[in-house]
């Protein structure tokens, strides 16, 4: 049995994000790069996170702050909400997603990320945090508890 990819694609890791994280292939779309970066957060692959961050946007202390995030945060799930452009023929793209994490308390990151392509490769450019997504009362809670939203975190 092969392991499912952490990015929530419901496909095996070996044919989903692993080829990107291992450098065998470049993510063809902004969404694929976004998913592979989420997987890199799950797997603690700091080198991949630095390499796929746009060189103009890297901070001097980026490795240090990423290292802290990787140590303090465990990722629970990823939901891609929408994408704009970011296809193989595009040079820019946006992906809106919601990621659930524990640090150690449960939290939700709802972000619209911008991606740009340079030298044929997609890079994460920056992201805008959005207000938390709240499901309707009778819908399943975002935290993955399996409870209805109105019964969760009461």
Taking the least distance from each CB to Zn ion, the nearer of 47 and 61 is 47
Which of 76, 131, 115, 83 shows the shortest CA–CA distance to 99?
76
State the minimum distance, in angstroms, from the CB of residue 97 to Zn ion: 13
Taking the least distance from each CB to Zn ion, the nearer of 50 and 152 is 152
Residues forming a β-bridge with 78 = 99
Contact 142/133 with Cβ under 8 angstroms? yes
State the minimum distance, in angstroms, from the CB of residue 17 to Zn ion: 3
Taking the least distance from each CB to Zn ion, the nearer of 65 and 135 is 135
Residues at the site binding Zn ion, with contacts judged by CB under 5 A: 5, 7, 9, 16-17, 35, 141, 143, 145, 152
CA distances from 95 to 85, 147, 148 (A): 9, 27, 27
- The Cα–Cα gap between 46 and 58 comes to 13
State the minimum distance, in angstroms, from the CB of residue 98 to Zn ion: 13
């Amino acid at each position: 049995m092969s392991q499912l990819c952490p990015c929530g694609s419901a496909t095996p890791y070996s044919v989903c994000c692993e080829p990107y994280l291992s450098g065998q292939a470049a993510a063809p779309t902004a969404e694929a790069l976004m998913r592979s970066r989420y997987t890199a957060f799950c797997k603690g692959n700091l080198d991949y996170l630095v390499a796929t961050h746009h060189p103009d946007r890297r901070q001097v202390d980026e490795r240090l702050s990423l290292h802290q995030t990787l140590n303090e945060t465990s990722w629970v799930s990823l939901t891609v909400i929408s994408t704009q452009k970011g296809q193989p023929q595009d040079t820019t793209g946006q992906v809106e997603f919601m990621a659930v994490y524990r640090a150690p308390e449960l939290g939700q990151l709802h972000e619209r990320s911008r991606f740009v392509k340079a030298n044929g490769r997609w890079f994460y450019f920056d992201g805008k945090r959005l207000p938390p997504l709240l499901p309707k009362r009778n819908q399943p809670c975002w935290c993955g508890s399996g409870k209805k939203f109105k019964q969760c975190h009461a």
